[in-house]
Amino acid sequence: MRKIQKVVLSSRPDGVLKTDNFQLLEGNCPSIGEGQFLIKNSYLSLDAGFRQWMNEGASDNYLSAMPLGEAVQSIVLGEIVESRHPDYPVGVHVVGRTAWETYSIADGSDLMTIVDVGNGVTEEHHLSVLGPSGMTAYFGLRDIGKAKAGDTVLVSAAAGGVGSLVGQMAKILGCRTIGISSSDKKCKWLTTDLQYDDVINYNSEPGLDKSIKALAPDGVDVYFDNVGGEMLDTVLPHLALKARVVLCGAISQYDDDSHAGVRNMWELITKRARAEGFMFSDYVDDYEDAATVISQWVAEGKLNAPVSLTHGISTTAAAFCDMLTGKNLGKSLVKLF
Amino acid sequence: MRKIQKVVLSSRPDGVLKTDNFQLLEGNCPSIGEGQFLIKNSYLSLDAGFRQWMNEGASDNYLSAMPLGEAVQSIVLGEIVESRHPDYPVGVHVVGRTAWETYSIADGSDLMTIVDVGNGVTEEHHLSVLGPSGMTAYFGLRDIGKAKAGDTVLVSAAAGGVGSLVGQMAKILGCRTIGISSSDKKCKWLTTDLQYDDVINYNSEPGLDKSIKALAPDGVDVYFDNVGGEMLDTVLPHLALKARVVLCGAISQYDDDSHAGVRNMWELITKRARAEGFMFSDYVDDYEDAATVISQWVAEGKLNAPVSLTHGISTTAAAFCDMLTGKNLGKSLVKLF
């Protein structure tokens, strides 16, 4: 009998998410029914946005609160090892939304997509630069941010899974890029490996507000916001006329219900600026075109796809918590097999 | 010698703006120089947005803080009575940004536009439905809100100068309209005179949040926001997918530096929604086309242009303060001559 290991949400986070909120369980792998297939998961993708749905009562148009005692929902990549579904044969690789588990049963829904591995495209690429993070960076910058050559693009959580790609893509589009991060180490990495033009360590003097003013005296044309809350509030007064704020994530808000609000919304009026939210999954019809463009950038050596790897499903909970506190460089993945 | 009366900002508001912050002065009317002309002002337009620039240090891309001791800046309509400017002859009516004063000297800058009075179009029309309020409602709804038939359009300060027009224009476009106001009296007026489909008195049970939920269970497609702050925060969780928030004014914010922030920005992400600010003055090239459309609506009896009038320049300060606390129905104007 095939064994399955999974990480379940065993308790709701009380403020900051901890590894104690999770539990690793082992059991027998259930058999598949008609129209289903079994995926052997090689990589789990750790995406900050999923933190939101770990809270009690979290619910929106995208997902509902994850049930306690069940495997934590996640984007996952694996290979089909059993199938009773004609469109998903054994041997193909798929990316989809399943869970933190070594094997997943799926039926083709939940964003399940067959992907090709080979010719320079790796499994890791499909969860980083060609996966949700890559699509988020690409469509956020292009369709929401309307980034164009000459724009000043400011990126928060610039060393994270999405931010590490946004800066590079903005450079390819001819923008000037400023990355915000939490340490000198990460800031250095942003300039050496990710071609950021300028960086701001918001934990060091003279602080975020004055640093933005010094680096972008004429204002920020595109703010790619992965953080929300207080950081967004600090950026708003620095927007240029007709600026676009790409609301991608709100990592500052997930742990804390009592967070301060955004007080500078008025700036959007006087700057005639726009703040717009989106989800990469809205662009599913355009993935193939985007993947062609992105693959070309990777092949030409213009775009790095940095990942922070941990190994084995037992590392998942800690890796997720570490990512939320910004310990990763680039996309956080857990390699299972 | 011609006398001039003007209302000056004599002190900065300490929180809530009061009539004590203003002073009525009288003096001799200065003579005009080459390239200038003298306007005898028949109406002052009271626009909440100008409140912002009465604060110390207020400054943005639009205006700077109004200087103490000088006439309060305002949109004004009048007739040219002396001229040394070839393009602005004696006898024409003009609308422009001058000040709370009986006569203004101008040189053609500051949005100064010659307008035609007659054929059913009155002076009042040029400061209401064809003036800043009308243009704000029209372009806000059309260009920022992208309102279309079938949309549910929610409007705050619905009985105000802009809100009283937004609801009617949205109805003309085939939308369903919900107006938010502060009293039963105003709510009644919204349905009887302005064709609002539904109204919410936010001061009465069951309160704004539950009322929106009851009236728009499928969500709000366009929120036309004249208020900002806490009200905006309450509306955000009720947005429909792909909703548009038209950031037009933030009347709740002008008096109070310590206002609470907007805590529900995250809703814009999960709803893939957009919040965008604008100024009517951005659309100056399209005024003529808009005026043609709006005039037609007025002529066909589809669009009321309600105004709250007071008479004489000495009523200006009180009328402005009353408007900020919502005592007006429709556009607030002061008739001078």
Determine, yes or no, domain membership for A15: yes
Tokens of A162: 């999405």
Q: Across the interface, do A259 and B259 touch by the CB < 8 Å criterion?
A: no
Based on the domain organization, do B98 and B149 belong to the same domain?
no
**How many CA atoms lie less than 13 Å away from A37 in the CB half-sphere?**
27
Determine, yes or no, domain membership for A296: no
Residues of chain A in contact with residue B260, where contact means CB-CB under 8 angstroms, are 261, 263
Based on the domain organization, do B161 and B269 belong to the same domain?
yes
Tokens of B276: 């965008």
Determine, yes or no, domain membership for A288: no
- Which of A245, A265, A281 delimits the end of a domain? A281
Based on the domain organization, do B110 and B165 belong to the same domain?
no
The beta-carbon neighbor of B268 closest among A271, A273, A275 is: A275
The beta-carbon neighbor of A61 closest among B241, B250, B262 is: B241
Q: For B69-86, what is each residue's pLDDT tens digit?
A: 999 999 999 999 999 999
Query: Is residue A60 scored above 70 in pLDDT?
Result: no
**How many CA atoms lie less than 13 Å away from A323 in the CB half-sphere?**
29
| pLDDT bucket at A207, cuts 50 / 70 / 90 | very high
Q: What average pLDDT does the segment A243-266 reach?
A: 82
The answer to whether A255 and A13 are in contact (CB under 8 A) is yes
| pLDDT bucket at A49, cuts 50 / 70 / 90 | confident
Residue A52's domain comprises 3-128+306-335
Query: Is residue A61 scored above 60 in pLDDT?
Result: no
* Residue A226: CATH number of its domain: 3.40.50.720
Mean pLDDT across chain A: 93
pLDDT at residue number A100 = 98
The answer to whether A268 and B253 are in contact (CB under 8 A) is no
Q: What average pLDDT does the segment B269-285 reach?
A: 93
pLDDT at residue number B144 = 98
Based on the domain organization, do A107 and A183 belong to the same domain?
no
* Residue A26: CATH number of its domain: 3.90.180.10
pLDDT at residue number B59 = 64
pLDDT at residue number B142 = 97
pLDDT at residue number A62 = 61
Tokens of A146: 């309307």
Determine, yes or no, domain membership for B153: yes
Based on the domain organization, do A221 and A98 belong to the same domain?
no
Query: Is residue A331 scored above 60 in pLDDT?
Result: yes
Based on the domain organization, do A161 and A49 belong to the same domain?
no
Tokens of A225: 């916001």
Mean pLDDT across chain B: 93
Instruction: Report the range of poorest mean pLDDT among A55-59, A181-185, B123-127, B305-309.
Output: A55-59
pLDDT at residue number A202 = 96
Residues of chain B in contact with residue A233, where contact means CB-CB under 8 angstroms, are 261
The beta-carbon neighbor of B272 closest among A266, A268, A282 is: A282
Determine, yes or no, domain membership for B260: yes
Helix extents (H) in B23-153? 123-127, 132-139
**Is the Cβ of A282 closer than 8 Å to some Cβ of chain B?**
yes
Q: Across the interface, do A263 and B260 touch by the CB < 8 Å criterion?
A: yes
Determine, yes or no, domain membership for A297: no
Q: What average pLDDT does the segment B134-146 reach?
A: 97
Q: Across the interface, do B233 and A266 touch by the CB < 8 Å criterion?
A: no
Q: For B4-30, what is each residue's pLDDT tens digit?
A: 999 999 999 998 999 999 999 999 999
| pLDDT bucket at A251, cuts 50 / 70 / 90 | confident
Q: State which residue of chain A sits closest to B274, comparing Cα positions.
A: A276
Based on the domain organization, do A175 and A227 belong to the same domain?
yes
H or E stretch including B83? strand B73-83
Instruction: Report the range of poorest mean pLDDT among A140-154, B1-15, B44-58.
Output: B44-58
Q: What average pLDDT does the segment A75-79 reach?
A: 96
Query: Is residue A163 scored above 60 in pLDDT?
Result: yes
Percent helix, strand and coil across chain B, each to the nearest 5: 30, 30, 40
A and B: number of Cβ contacts within 8 A: 108
State how far the Cα of B23 lies from the Cα of B7, in Å rounded to an integer.
Answer: 5
Q: pTM for this structure?
A: 0.92
| pLDDT bucket at B220, cuts 50 / 70 / 90 | very high
Instruction: Report the range of poorest mean pLDDT among A20-29, B159-168, B254-263.
Output: B254-263
Tokens of A98: 């399943």
Q: How many CB atoms neighbour CB B68 within 10 A?
A: 13
pLDDT at residue number B238 = 97
Going from the C-alpha of B85 to that of each of B79, B81, B98, the distances in angstroms are 14, 12, 17
pLDDT at residue number A15 = 87
Based on the domain organization, do A152 and A244 belong to the same domain?
yes
Determine, yes or no, domain membership for A35: yes
Query: Is residue B1 scored above 90 in pLDDT?
Result: no
Instruction: Report the range of poorest mean pLDDT among A110-114, A231-235, B49-53.
Output: A110-114
Rounded to a whole number of angstroms, the distance between the first and last alpha carbons of chain A is 18
| pLDDT bucket at A59, cuts 50 / 70 / 90 | low
Based on the domain organization, do A7 and A88 belong to the same domain?
yes
Based on the domain organization, do B94 and B140 belong to the same domain?
no
| pLDDT bucket at B251, cuts 50 / 70 / 90 | confident
- Which of B264, B281, B298 delimits the end of a domain? B281
Percent helix, strand and coil across chain A, each to the nearest 5: 30, 30, 40
Identify the residue among B235, B269, B276 best suited for mutation to test binding to A, counting A beta carbons within 10 A and taking the highest: B269
Query: Is residue A115 scored above 70 in pLDDT?
Result: yes
Based on the domain organization, do A149 and A268 belong to the same domain?
yes
Number of domains present in the structure of chain B = 2
pLDDT at residue number A54 = 93
pLDDT at residue number B5 = 97
Q: For B84-126, what is each residue's pLDDT tens digit?
A: 999 999 999 999 999 999 999 999 887 778 999 988 899 999 9
pLDDT at residue number A81 = 97
Determine, yes or no, domain membership for B83: yes
Q: Across the interface, do A249 and B269 touch by the CB < 8 Å criterion?
A: yes
Query: Is residue A257 scored above 70 in pLDDT?
Result: no
Residue bearing tokens 């050559």: A149
Q: What average pLDDT does the segment A192-207 reach?
A: 96
Based on the domain organization, do B13 and B83 belong to the same domain?
yes
pLDDT at residue number A217 = 97
Choose among B280, B288, B289, B279: nearest CA to B114.
B288
pLDDT at residue number B256 = 66
